[in-house]
Amino acid sequence: MSSFFLTPDICKVDSLLYRLYPSNDLRKLLYFKSNADGTYQFRGNYNGTANEILFNGLAVDEIYLIRAECRAMRNDIDGAMSDLNALARKRYLQGTLVEFSATSIEEALRLIMMERRKELAFRGMRWSDLRRFNLNGMFKDTLFRRIDNSVFTLLPDAPGYVLGLTNRPR
């Protein structure tokens, strides 16, 4: 069974997402393919193709990120950074990783959330992460999208920011 919603003529990767990956990040090479028009296409599925059903199950990378987040929430910042760095060592060109470090829970969680954004791209996790962190007040990110010459903005706590937000208990 195939899904063709990620073909280059239909879906182009948001340039803001693509720019999150530094040049020494192997995911930049492995997850994305350059299109002739200067845009990018996602190809980071486990089988190397974008035209197959995308994987959205639990995998080792997500376990590292979950444990790092749990450790950070319990104020085990060193443990959280240890998990983040263990994963990152497999994601960056050998010898080029500047290890992650944090001095506060907030700083650690911000790093973890950024790595979740990059590591779990196209795995169906973004909306639940946005909702979870917006609801608990930890991070309230403003979302931007540029389509042609128009910029669309969605503010945290706005109705429809993420699914179900309009009916949440106060």
Residue 169, in any domain of the structure: yes
The answer to the question of residue 137 being in a domain is yes
Band the pLDDT of 35: cuts 50, 70, 90: confident
HSE-up of residue 155 (Cα within 13 Å, Cβ side): 2
Contact 109, 140 (CB under 8 A): no
Contact 132, 141 (CB under 8 A): no
The DSSP annotation for 15-45 comes to HHHHHTS-TTBHHHHHHEEE-TTS-EEE--S
Q: Does 144 fall in a domain? A: yes
Q: 135 lies in which domain range?
A: 125-170
pLDDT digits (tens, 9 = 90+) for 82-136: 999 999 999 999 999 999 999 999 999 999 999 999 999 888 888 888 877 877 6
Helix, strand, or coil (residue 68)? helix
Domains: count for the chain? 1
Q: Could you tell me the pTM of the whole model?
A: 0.82
What pLDDT sits at residue 5? 58
Range 23-31 average pLDDT: 93
On whether residue 106 sits in a domain, the answer given is no
Residue 155, in any domain of the structure:
yes
166 within domain boundaries? yes
**143 lies in some domain:** yes
